[in-house]
Structure 1
Amino acid sequence: MELLVTGGRGQSGRWVLDRLAADHDVTCLDRTNPGPDAGHSDVAYRALDLTDTGSVLDIVTELNPDAVVHWAAIPVAGTRPGVDVYQNNTLAAHNVLTAAGRVDAQVVQASSDGAYGFFFADETPVPDRLPIPESHPLRPEDPYGLSKVVTEEIGQTVARRDGVSVTSIRPSWIQEPGDYPCRDPDYVENLDAGAGNFWSYVDARDVAELVAAALDSPHHGHEAVNCVGPDNALGRSLPELMREQYGRLPDDCAVEGDAAAFSVAKAKRLFGWEPSHSWREASEGELESPEV
């Protein structure tokens, strides 16, 4: 396919870009282009501001892709003023997805487990269910989580209005091979550090594989899917961790052992995807990051 990938020069976007360039013709849209003799050898680059509606519409209609992977965003709360995070993420998503719908392009976009509202809540709530399904209520209290809820609503609008397939992927904390901060002593020895997302994580390679799988299996309308690793980052019994940190489990609890807190059953059903990288091997491995 002819693909447009936004944010392909970012920390997790580079893994997505590299994976897709192996099978498709890819153009990367980002704020800046790589320098001379830099960047991915199989990728074309265009620099633009994704919050500029005219620029986005111009380039998407010019290139007329089969699919758009929208991965660009300010990726976390607390790094910039909240209004900047919200405005950037929602306006960029509106521009990119609206343009994709106009050229009848399939869409896969980055959402986040931040949409559930656990991590940045003043007091992290115990989820209604474990494992947490995509149907769990979304209750963000922060601008980043709210921006992801809105981008999913934009996806639903575009899918409904333009009849294109839109998939919103909700990764948990993305780790790179050999660089797993979820295994740093300050994290592992302090339950509070990972309690906001119930010690969940996902390897960047598994994220990229889910993006590729979603592109290979278009569906009708909009679907959101969780994207987490096969276990929790502490390697301990999740029910025991929940009792130790929160004093209780939800009444609807079906997790055992060192399971992840988020269900990936929907991604398996729709796209045949399951995570294949655990911190047990990936945190110590050495693998060079893809070129950006």
Structure 2
Amino acid sequence: MRILMTGGAGLVGRAVVAHLASLDHEIISLVRRPSAEQLPARVSERIADATDATAVDELMAEQIDAVVHLAAIPSPGDRTAVELAAANTMATLAVLEAAAHHDVRTVVLASSISVLGMAWSPEAMHPVFVPVTEEHPLRPAEGYALSKEMDEAAARMAARRWGLSVVSLRLPFTGTAEMIRERAALAERDDSTRLALAKELWAYLDVRDAARAVELAIAASRTGRLSGAHVLNVVADDVLLDDDIADLLESWHPQTPVVGELTRGAYTTAAAAEKIGFQAVHLLGHSSSRDGDGGRP
């Protein structure tokens, strides 16, 4: 399969590129500047910005079978809502419209659990209910969450207008095993990290699981198991801290009602399991790991 990737130079993007290339797919990676390291076999780079609709359209003409769109500003930082919308949502629209123009029916987008509005909210915000499903209300309080809500809305438009199959993966804090362990350790001594984790509901994902989720989403679309627009929570099904989820919720979100079964995490990944067959296997070890590595990612 010939796959167009945007954001292939980022942390998650590099993992996705390497994983898909290992499955013998040909990857065209759209990046803003050439990689300093050697590219895997079957991977080539094209230099452009994903917001450049003309460049994206030209690449989509190269007999592309599927698109993985990860390019985005990954956090609000000090950017304005206008800047975030211009960088994130305009790139998403460029990818979707070019895919439709060249009859590329399969698109996988990187969304974020930040779309809920809690993660970067300047004020305290609590989930409306837990476990958090994909139907949880979206309450953006800053430009990044808004840009992700706009991305998901663009995906629904593309499915209705052009008949694309678009899977938006809502990712949490995603990193290598070492990065995840370091963040968990930092939370033990840093108040701002503990607060950030509480806003994110202690979610995380190993980059290896993120890469596999992209693979599964592409396969579900290409085989016809999925059509239209879908949003999926793609998170590890435990928490980043070595604490029970019920105790964490009682401490940080005591007024939030528990609706349905609360297991090891605050998010449910039932839809991802049902629709694309995804379940994270690289867990921190608060519960047993599924990949036989002794409970460590």
Within the alignment, does 1:85 sit opposite 2:88 as a pair?
A: no
Deviations 1:209-252 (A, max 9, x none): 11000111111100000011120011211121111123333152
Match of 1:8 in 2: 8
Match of 1:226 in 2: 233
Matching residue within 272, 278, 281 for 1:273: 278
Q: Is the 8 A contact 1:2 1:26 kept in 2?
A: yes
Q: Is the 8 A contact 2:128 2:256 kept in 1?
A: no
Match of 2:27 in 1: 26
Q: Which amino acid aligns with 1:212?
A: E
What secondary structure, in the 3-state scheme, does the structure 1 residue paired with 2:161 have? helix
With the length of structure 1 as denominator, give the TM-score of the two structures: 0.90
Q: Is the 8 A contact 2:203 2:240 kept in 1?
A: yes
Greater relative contact order: 1 or 2 (C-alpha under 8 angstroms, separation 6 or more)? 1
Deviations 1:254-277 (A, max 9, x none): 314xx1111100000001110001
Q: Which amino acid aligns with 1:261?
A: A
Q: Which amino acid aligns with 1:271?
A: I
Q: Which amino acid aligns with 2:272?
A: A
Structure 2: stretches of 5+ with no match in the other structure: none
Within the alignment, does 1:112 sit opposite 2:112 as a pair?
A: yes
Q: Distance in 1 between matches of 2:65 and 2:40?
A: 21
Match of 2:250 in 1: 243
With the length of structure 2 as denominator, give the TM-score of the two structures: 0.88
Q: Distance in 2 between matches of 1:14 and 1:193?
A: 25
Q: Distance in 2 between matches of 1:121 and 1:129?
A: 17
**What's the % identity of the aligned pairs?**
32
Structure 1: stretches of 5+ with no match in the other structure: 287-292
Q: Which amino acid aligns with 2:247?
A: E
What secondary structure, in the 3-state scheme, does the structure 2 residue paired with 1:178 have? helix
Q: Distance in 2 between matches of 1:247 and 1:164?
A: 41
Match of 1:289 in 2: none
Deviations 1:145-180 (A, max 9, x none): 111111111111111122121100000110212222
Q: Is the 8 A contact 1:228 1:275 kept in 2?
A: yes
Q: What pairs with 1:111-260 in structure 2 (closer than 5 Å)?
A: 111-180=111-180, 181-186=182-187, 190=191, 191-218=194-221, 219-252=226-259, 254-256=261-263, 259-260=264-265
Q: What pairs with 1:32-71 in structure 2 (closer than 5 Å)?
A: 32-35=33-36, 38-61=38-61, 63-71=62-70
Moved more, 187-196 or 224-233: 187-196
Q: Distance in 2 between matches of 1:168 and 1:22?
A: 23
Q: Is the 8 A contact 1:128 1:252 kept in 2?
A: no
Quote the offset at 1:79 in angstroms. 4.9
